[in-house]
Amino acid sequence: MPRMHPRIVQVAVPRPLHSVYDYQVPAPLPMPAVGARVRVPFNRGSTVGVCTAHLHSSAHKSLKDVAEVLDGQPLLPPDLVQLAHWMTDYYHHPLGEVLATLLPAAARKGAPGNLDEPDWWTTSVPAFDNKRATAQRALFDYLQANQPCAAEQLTAAGHKRAALRALAKAGAVERCEPDLRGGGEVPPEPSAAQATAIQAVITKLDAFNVQLLEGVTGSGKTEVYLRVMEPVLDQGGQVLVLVPEIALTPQTLQRFQQRYGGVGMLHSNLSDHERLQTWLKAAAGKLRVIVGTRSAIFTPFRKLGLIVVDEEHDSSYKQQDGLRYSARDLAAKRAQQLNLPVVLGSATPSLESLYNVNRGRYAKLSLPHRAAGARMPTYHLIDMRGQAHTDGVAVALEHVIRRHLDARGQVLLFLNRRGFAPALLCAACGWQALCSDCDAKLTLHRKPAALVCHHCGLRFPIPDQCEHCGSSSLLPVGMGTQRTEAAVQRLFKDLPVYRIDRDSTRSNRALEQRFAQINTGEPAIMVGTQMLAKGHHFPNVTLVAILNADAGFCSPDFRAPERTAQLITQVAGRAGRAERPGEVWIQTYQPDNPLLQCLMQAGYPGFAELELQQRIAVGLPPAKPMALIRAESANGTEAVNLLQQFKQQLRGLELLGPVAAPIARVANRQRYQLMLVADSRPHLHQHLARLQPPRLPRSLRWSIDVDPYDSL
Ligand code: ADP
Ligand code: ZN
Ligand code: ZN
């Protein structure tokens, strides 16, 4: 018989497998609300968990006591607790870990959930005339002309925090409520297509619905987002705007901030404290708009009225480790739970979203033309077979580059490989430099010179001799951005060449500085990876060249064609975004590749339609739901055995595997996977819910990836 006890709570703790436990709340402590954090004893230590239910009784005889209740008000509002439960079922991930993923890191570690005093200031006396305190006087005068004013704005204008403190101490200035009014920017007049899209969204603001805004690159999707936000904000509602990781730059933020006040930003470069504060401000309604990357989907709001997902096809919306959620899919789920609208925008929508349009679940809106009269670029192929080239830049392309530079245009060269060369090969015996810990070739880097493993991050000195035969003729094979940069600099001696990849621009600030240099508009060449492809606006780029289009179309991953077509279209979309028309040149060794031909002739929409029909025909996502179970262990045997056991338990589904991952060994662990395809979602989830993992050796790790983005 369970014994009756009125002060029992269920607490989810961040542990794998069994993550929900019953605890007793001792008399002096208040009962924690559902969604509040509690500190509880766990194993031999203690941990921060979240109260998930009040219980009338427990099946357990002796319950441990809650040690501390951390939140008077629940930090997680009911809608997020509800979302966490849904995620637990959908992603087959323990509730405690789901809740821990939702919380900002500071909150997870037990930091108090109190809002700092607002860092906004006004003057509190009519004048400040201390002749000697010039810094203070200057700040006072600035504030008087610009009040109320955020402390960040004061420091951005060159004033010192110390002067502000001194003025506050003297009683000349005081804190005030933040000003959430807009910046008063005059918006452009929407085009006819924009107006139609705006109208379509605005008429459906009061209930759940998803609209896919398919707008070609440079068509003014952001203007549509800004316009549909207005009525939501006017009614006191809040808006969540999700953007891809690379696109969240001060430039992006500014576009929202200039139109509306009260914009907060959530991205991975914030300190834990800043992140928690922005989170709390959104929950308290002290911010009106949150612009953020993937995990911003978990922001609590006082009155959320609309969710926008920009570049909805972007891979950064899918978390690739731990709890492998899709922020885009969660946006739709959260909107459904809260009964509010979602706008998904992209020039190259995912097949998932297009499938939902075809089935009538999403409505589609189109912006078929570029804004403000800019034309779409023209496409040209360069057949690389038998072409002379300089380190991968064809002579024919060199001429085109020169023509554009002579016409004072800027040039963007795209190559999806960082480093100097993707392999180092012995010309005498064919030996290749491999990683000691992975089954992978090492990439040759220059400045700093090293062989780098792009899978585990290990670095090795560059050998003088072949390890196998001792020959000293070691050849860098293939192209990386560093090699292209060097080649282009040799070909165009007097022109600035900017390389933009993860090695050259590690911080957002460095990236901003680069973009500022580029947007002075002088003729220049940019060489870069997909960091250049996403959402950026370079008005003076008239030529985009894709140096190696083939790799993506040759990958066995079933999503590779879709991804490659998206990438080519997005990169191409950087060309000719302003007055001057753009050209796109694509180097290929397979000019007749049917996928490439289809993209050239039918454009992304035609390509996507055909690719979707293929997926439906062979029964792959989005037509059928998929999951991937990955397992890894030191020698691989345990991983394979586990997946074999799962395979038995999952009979009734279409199963592929266990097979070794394409790069089987990474960081000295052998990786295997089992792919599952089901006829329907319920079918998939019934089976996954039945999985019974046996007792596992410590060294074995495994995970379930529902709707995997990478299937290899
Ligand atoms: P997308 O996100 O669709 O690629 P953007 O929103 O970046 O396109 O818009 C491209 C450019 O067109 C921006 O400089 C934007 O200010 C401008 N623009 C958008 N809408 C209009 C409009 N209705 N009239 C004039 N310019 C516009
Ligand atoms: Zn050799
Ligand atoms: Zn490695």
The predicted-structure confidence for 259-276, as pLDDT tens digits, reads as follows: 888 888 888 778 899 899
Query: Which pLDDT score is estimated for 669?
Result: 94
When pLDDT is cut at 50, 70 and 90, the band that residue 3 belongs to is very low
The predicted-structure confidence for 145-155, as pLDDT tens digits, reads as follows: 888 888 877 88
The reply to whether ligand 1 has any atom less than 6 angstroms from the CB of 218 is: yes
Inform me whether the pLDDT recorded for 240 exceeds 70.
yes
CB 27 within 8 A of CB 14: no
Please give the Cα distance from 60 to 50 (Å, whole number).
19
Inform me whether the pLDDT recorded for 209 exceeds 90.
yes
Please give the Cα distance from 298 to 290 (Å, whole number).
11
Query: Which pLDDT score is estimated for 498?
Result: 92
Whole-structure pTM value: 0.91
- Which helix (H) or strand (E) is 515 found in, with range? helix 508-518
Q: How far is the CA of 370 from the centre of ligand 1 (A)?
A: 8
The reply to whether ligand 1 has any atom less than 6 angstroms from the CB of 345 is: no
Inform me whether the pLDDT recorded for 101 exceeds 80.
yes
Inform me whether the pLDDT recorded for 82 exceeds 50.
yes
Residue owning the nearest CA to atom 25 of ligand 1: 372
Query: Which pLDDT score is estimated for 86?
Result: 97
Inform me whether the pLDDT recorded for 543 exceeds 70.
yes
Mean pLDDT within 308-335: 96
The reply to whether ligand 1 has any atom less than 6 angstroms from the CB of 346 is: no
The predicted-structure confidence for 544-561, as pLDDT tens digits, reads as follows: 999 988 888 888 889 999
Mean pLDDT within 438-454: 93
Closest CA to 291 of 350, 357, 227, 245: 245
Please give the Cα distance from 68 to 30 (Å, whole number).
9
Query: Which pLDDT score is estimated for 610?
Result: 95
When pLDDT is cut at 50, 70 and 90, the band that residue 535 belongs to is low
CB 669 within 8 A of CB 634: yes
Residue owning the nearest CA to atom 19 of ligand 1: 220
Please list, in sequence order, all residues whose beta carbon lies within 8 angstroms of the beta carbon of residue 403, skipping any fewer than 6 positions away. none
Could you tell me the two tokens for 170?
Answer: 């003297």
What percentage of the chain has pLDDT greater than the value 70? 97
What is the number of the ligand closest to the CA of 668?
Answer: 3
Cross-sheet strand order for the sheet of 45-58: 20-24, 3-12, 45-58, 37-42, 68-69
Inform me whether the pLDDT recorded for 438 exceeds 80.
yes
Inform me whether the pLDDT recorded for 10 exceeds 50.
yes
Mean pLDDT within 557-580: 89
Q: How far is the CA of 675 from the centre of ligand 3 (A)?
A: 25
Residue owning the nearest CA to atom 21 of ligand 1: 371
The predicted-structure confidence for 345-362, as pLDDT tens digits, reads as follows: 999 999 999 999 999 999
Point out the ligand 1 atom lying closest to the alpha carbon of residue 255: 16
Mean pLDDT within 462-467: 93
Residue owning the nearest CA to atom 9 of ligand 1: 220
Residue owning the nearest CA to atom 15 of ligand 1: 220
The reply to whether ligand 1 has any atom less than 6 angstroms from the CB of 35 is: no
When pLDDT is cut at 50, 70 and 90, the band that residue 461 belongs to is very high
Cross-sheet strand order for the sheet of 410-414: 378-383, 583-588, 541-546, 410-414, 525-528, 497-500
What is the number of the ligand closest to the CA of 366?
Answer: 1
Ranges 244-258, 286-300, 391-405: which has the least confidence:
244-258
Could you tell me the two tokens for 410?
Answer: 């800027």
The reply to whether ligand 1 has any atom less than 6 angstroms from the CB of 372 is: yes
Inform me whether the pLDDT recorded for 1 exceeds 60.
no
Ranges 93-107, 121-135, 485-499: which has the least confidence:
121-135
What is the number of the ligand closest to the CA of 218?
Answer: 1
Which one of 254, 537, 540, 569 would you pick to mutate in the ligand 1 pocket, going by the greatest count of ligand atoms within 8 A of its CB?
537
